[in-house]
Amino acid sequence: MNFGSWRVLDQLPAEEPCLGALFTSYSFDPAFFEEHVLRAVLRLTSDPIEQAERYHHEARRALQETPVVAIVDAGERRPGRRLPFDLLEVSEAVFHPKSVLLLYRKFARLLIGSGNLTFSGYGGNTELFLRTDLSYTNATDASMLAAFDTHLGRIRALVRHPGTQFDLFRQEMRRRIPNAVADPVSPALALLDSTGGPVIQQLAALLPANAVIESIGMLAPFYERDDAAELDVTSVFGALAPQAGKDALLDVGVAWDNPQVHASSASSLEGGLGRIWTWATEKDGARVLQHMVPTGLGPNTLAYVDDTGQGRRGPLDEVQDAIEQRNLWVQPPPIAFAPRNAIAAAAKRFAEVRLWLHPATRLDEGRPVHRPLHAKLMVVAYRSGRTRESLVMLGSPNMSRRALLMGAGTGAGNVEIAVAFRLDSVVTLRDLVPELVHAPASAFELKERDFPEPARNYALAVDRAVHDPTAGSLVVSWSPAASDLPAWRLSYDGTQLATSTSPPDAPIVVPGFVLKPSTAEIVLHVDGRDCPVPILVTDLVALPAAPSGPSIGLDELLMLLGRRIGAERAIQIAERRERDPGGNDELAAIFGDGFGPTDVFRAWWSVADDLRDPSLSVQGFRLRLEGALGAGAAWACMLDAVKAKPLTPEEIWFYGAELLRTLGEVDMPPAEDRDAKDAVLKTFCARVRDDLRSLAIDAGPRPWVERITAFYREAQA
């Protein structure tokens, strides 16, 4: 068995609308997330570069319908967020999981792996992900989803502020698995979660009680810090040693950062014994590379160890010809990172410790590609009675104490997540990762990675920045970390919001705030540094249709709801109306001197038809009723028209009564979210009824008014 190769972005979307999306990551690039990940998951059709404004409108409306949340480490996210998805931060522990959970109508798609939400993590590095589709109606799958929800519940306790979309996402999932009992271990897959305890203990618990480990393989870009201590259960290499047999092997795979895929200078065979060489040959019309370590030079043959670790011999004349033709060359001393002393200690416990290099640059279909190692993998081969099997774990944990040997928490271990599965045969690390190159310890020197001390994260001085679109306000509150803040300035999109030379002592309230398409972050300027802080929105459904643009009028709304124009066109007409109030020929072409009952009825009927769509999410359902381009917006415009007197109270009452009658006939098909949608509909209709009661209608000498009101009262009875 080995792993398949594919683009992570291609594995995300299904051929149907997504009902909710949750992502966890250590580092985070908002531009990549918004322009590539969201485009794939939400199936957006506009181009984020060539059609930036259209793309933003399309993405913003999709986010109003689909709860999307990204949870990341507070110290590792990059600036540049423009869209109002919930970007939540964890700062009290190192937040290192990499997972994706996408909700669809009949199943959820789960990805767990090693890649961050960056271009490198989703395509530039060598990463490992496991993707599985979990059916809501399958008891085992539902239990796995419930276990993941338990993991999310523990994460919720760690985030600095939970926002709104996190809970909406979890509600959407729980509606589909209401009776599932959380069980992180299934016959096919096990979920390993450091928020529930050390990952290595959860992995060890999957081994049979009488298991004897025959080999352990580890692959990671980062290992535990080196020390001179003896190997024991507090060491990553020693954690499983008590269950290992006396002949057990340890395979350690490390990153090889500087391989050369072409000869750069002449090579001398006599001076290159014991070093890594690379031989380029042709296979099926493509250039391929093989690695070797020459160990002995005879009169006519060369003894060498191939890249699988096997000793071999080859004709010396072929070797010399390849060197002369620059098809065989010696590699520069490899740059590889792993704890030298810990590996030396492991060599005293295991029968053999084999070192493997993962080349960052290699050939793919004959072309050089640079994909540095960022994957994390552990393979445990064991025998249990007469059975020989392997346990494979992949996910976010590096081979370090904080990742594997400690439970997550403040001042403790990292937040990590991984999956494990069983194979009914014995496999080794190189069986799963065939590009690994075996190399004796004499061929390279192991080094420790140097990590610079991080600078103070001044953004943590802001507890939260919350925009309420209904109130039109932004409220910035401060955390205890602001108590010693030096001179500071707060801005939004280049406009200063506040400034002081002393620490802030009260929240900052910005009235009349509009969330612009250009940015969804405020910036705290301190000590010559710009520290972005994500803005959370209290209710995405309440966001205006056109940020910083004109309000959408009743005529445009009726055309939109009646499916005569699209949302983009409605906004354009509103903008044109604001520039030239008397020159709106498009409205006149449709309505003539004004809209009539047929136009209103058509709008209400179209809304009702939309609400019957079973693929519509609960938030999408709300949006059709309560959003800036929904039925509620048109109804609010009608009520305003009564005050301005273009319409009479009787007309408005008539249109409102017809809206209630039409919505009362909406028969939603049986579905997991039917009750939630029904609650939204009842709340909306109750508000319309209250509005109708407030309208003073006097039939007077017009008996037809009484007949119409009697008809609708009877219809609503």
Helices (H), 205-242: none
Distance CA 350, CA 222 (A): 21
CATH code at position 154:
3.30.870.10
Q: Are residues 74 and 208 in the same domain?
A: no
Query: With bands split at pLDDT 50, 70 and 90, how would you rate the model's confidence at 549?
Result: low
pLDDT value at 57 more than 70: yes
Q: What is the DSSP letter of 574?
A: H
Q: Are residues 475 and 428 in the same domain?
A: no
Cα 98 to chain centroid, rounded: 8
Q: Are residues 409 and 495 in the same domain?
A: no
Q: Are residues 598 and 704 in the same domain?
A: yes
Distance CA 205, CA 208 (A): 8
Inter-residue contact 383 to 391 (CB < 8 Å)? no
Q: Are residues 136 and 12 in the same domain?
A: yes
- Looking at 447, 467, 497, the residue that finishes a domain is 447
Residue 125 has φ and ψ, to the nearest 5°, of -100, 170
Q: Are residues 158 and 302 in the same domain?
A: no
Dihedral sign from CA coordinates of 344, 349, 355, 360: negative
Q: Which two tokens stand for residue 440?
A: 């004796």
DSSP for 583-629? --HHHHHHHTTS--HHHHHHHHHHHHHHHT-TT--HHHHHHHHHSTT
Distance CA 253, CA 432 (A): 12
CA angle 290, 294, 296 (to 5 degrees): 150
- Looking at 278, 307, 330, the residue that finishes a domain is 330
For residue 452, is it within any domain? Answer: no
pLDDT of 653 reads 87
Number of folded domains that form the chain: 5
pLDDT value at 585 more than 80: no
Mean pLDDT of 310-328: 93
pLDDT digits (tens, 9 = 90+) for 482-538: 999 999 999 999 999 999 999 999 999 999 999 999 999 999 999 999 999 999 999
Q: How many CB atoms lie under 10 A from the CB of residue 698? A: 9
Mean pLDDT rounded to a whole number for the chain: 91
Where do we find the tokens 């136009």?
599
Q: Are residues 60 and 14 in the same domain?
A: yes
For residue 190, is it within any domain? Answer: no
**Domain extent for 82:** 8-183
Q: Are residues 363 and 239 in the same domain?
A: yes
CATH code at position 213:
3.30.870
pLDDT of 445 reads 83
For residue 189, is it within any domain? Answer: no
For residue 547, is it within any domain? Answer: no
Q: How many CB atoms lie under 10 A from the CB of residue 492? A: 22
Which range among 206-215, 399-408, 441-450 shows the weakest confidence by mean pLDDT? 441-450
pLDDT of 180 reads 94
pLDDT of 337 reads 85
Which range among 247-251, 449-453, 585-589, 667-671 shows the weakest confidence by mean pLDDT? 585-589
pTM of the model: 0.93
For residue 454, is it within any domain? Answer: no
Decide: helix, strand or coil at residue 244. Answer: strand
pLDDT value at 550 more than 90: no
- Looking at 416, 447, 478, the residue that finishes a domain is 447
Q: How many CB atoms lie under 10 A from the CB of residue 666? A: 16
Query: With bands split at pLDDT 50, 70 and 90, how would you rate the model's confidence at 707?
Result: low
Q: Are residues 472 and 616 in the same domain?
A: no
DSSP for 35-104? IIIHHHHTT--S-TTTTHHHHHHHHHHHHHHS-EEEEEETTSBPS---S-SEEEEE-SS-B---EEEEE-
Q: Are residues 12 and 138 in the same domain?
A: yes
pLDDT value at 133 more than 80: yes
Query: With bands split at pLDDT 50, 70 and 90, how would you rate the model's confidence at 78?
Result: very high
Could you tell me which residues come within 8 angstroms of residue 532 by beta carbon, excluding any fewer than 6 positions away?
79, 80, 81, 459, 521, 522, 523, 524
Q: Are residues 692 and 632 in the same domain?
A: yes
Q: Are residues 475 and 440 in the same domain?
A: no
pLDDT of 198 reads 96
pLDDT value at 74 more than 90: yes
Query: With bands split at pLDDT 50, 70 and 90, how would you rate the model's confidence at 575?
Result: confident
Q: How many CB atoms lie under 10 A from the CB of residue 549? A: 15
Distance CA 261, CA 56 (A): 42
Query: With bands split at pLDDT 50, 70 and 90, how would you rate the model's confidence at 228?
Result: low
What's 2-29 look like in SS3? Answer: CCCCCCHHHHCCCCCCCCEEEEEECCEC
